[in-house]
Structure 1
Amino acid sequence: MNGRVDYLVTEEEINLTRGPSGLGFNIVGGTDQQYVSNDSGIYVSSIKENGAAAQDGRLQEGDKILSVNGHDLKNLQHRDAVALFRNAGYAVSLKVQHRLQVQNGPTSHRGEGEPSSIPIAVVLLPVFALTVVAAWAFMRYRQQL
């Protein structure tokens, strides 16, 4: 393994309706208390059980919240981000960045009957290339006859 960790980053718009306990999640981060090194973004630190976010199911711990009702969360202090959430109203639209870790090597021994983690393209590309070379060689051979 090369020690590098790869991530798949996706963005999603999530609309939540504020419930009795608010939006149902806590946040960390901001310019004054970075949660991720060299990133002053706002992140979901926890999801409250039975809250609006938990009932929706799409927001996850560790997600980065990019905007609230169209208000960009870049370069905000933590307290200013909290104020945006508190004053967002009943229907709240969140632009969220999900970051999923992509496996780039084996993490354990594969058991009997488990599928291989080798991508199909890694196998098919060389086979396709060899087929093209063999067809070309055959055609050249036939022309010489």
Structure 2
Amino acid sequence: MNGSAHRTSTALDIQLRRGPAGLGFNIVGGTDQQYVINDGGIYVAKIKENGAAALDGRLQEGDKILAINGYKLENLPHSAAVDLFRSAGEDVHLRVLQSPRLSANGPASSRSDGESSSPFMATALVSLVLVGGIAFLLYGVLRR
């Protein structure tokens, strides 16, 4: 999330009613899958078109969700936050820290508000491929 240090964020309370597609947004983050460096918070990754959040219009990609139904989301792993969203009921109260509105630089892809999204897995896969390639090259050099 890119932003200017002199712009302030605004806390906002949002009430959403779960629709056929859930709450209509995807989340990223958590203590085990930090989306923002040195911040284990839960962030809105994507707003689904025509979902509850999009129809309300206040929740935006990049916003930090501070609490759901009064339960604070600080110091939670991603999976625990997902469980809270899944079990939140039909009427959901969110406490959100809205980020200053700049040009959006959100995640390239994400999953629904009940699914995990792990940038760690992509990084691990790329690392594994690189290590395998290096090992293959070293093996070829050492056999000669």
> Which range, TM-score by smaller chain?
0.5 to 0.7
SS at match of 1:7: coil
The 8 Å contact of residues 7 and 101 in structure 1, kept in 2 or not, is answered as no
Distance across 2 between alignment mates of 1:8 and 1:92: 26
Distance across 1 between alignment mates of 2:101 and 2:55: 24
Distance across 2 between alignment mates of 1:101 and 1:7: 9
Distance across 2 between alignment mates of 1:94 and 1:101: 19
Give the TM-score, by structure 1 length: 0.66
Deviations 1:86-105 (A, max 9, x none): 00000000000012168xxx
Distance across 2 between alignment mates of 1:77 and 1:92: 20
Distance across 2 between alignment mates of 1:16 and 1:99: 19
Q: Give the aligned partner of residue 87 of structure 1.
A: 87
1:104-115 aligned at under 5 Å gives the runs none
Q: Give the aligned partner of residue 61 of structure 1.
A: 61
The 8 Å contact of residues 5 and 101 in structure 1, kept in 2 or not, is answered as no
1:1-145 aligned at under 5 Å gives the runs 5-100=5-100
Q: How many residues align?
A: 99
Letter in 2 for 1:49: E
Give the TM-score, by structure 2 length: 0.66
Q: Which runs of 5+ in 2 are unaligned?
A: 103-144
Q: 1:70: how far off?
A: 0.2
Distance across 2 between alignment mates of 1:10 and 1:35: 19
Q: 1:6: how far off?
A: 2.1
Letter in 1 for 2:25: F
| More strand, by proportion | 1
Q: Measured at CA, do residues 19 and 101 of structure 1 come closer, stay the same or move farther in structure 2, by a change above 3 Å?
A: closer
The 8 Å contact of residues 33 and 78 in structure 1, kept in 2 or not, is answered as yes
The 8 Å contact of residues 8 and 101 in structure 1, kept in 2 or not, is answered as no
Deviations 1:19-74 (A, max 9, x none): 00000000000000000000000000000000000000000000000000000000
Q: Which runs of 5+ in 1 are unaligned?
A: 103-145
4+ long deviations beyond 6 Å = none
Distance across 1 between alignment mates of 2:83 and 2:20: 18
Distance across 2 between alignment mates of 1:29 and 1:58: 20
- Rg larger in 1 or in 2? 1
Identity of aligned residues (%): 63
Q: 1:5: how far off?
A: 3.7
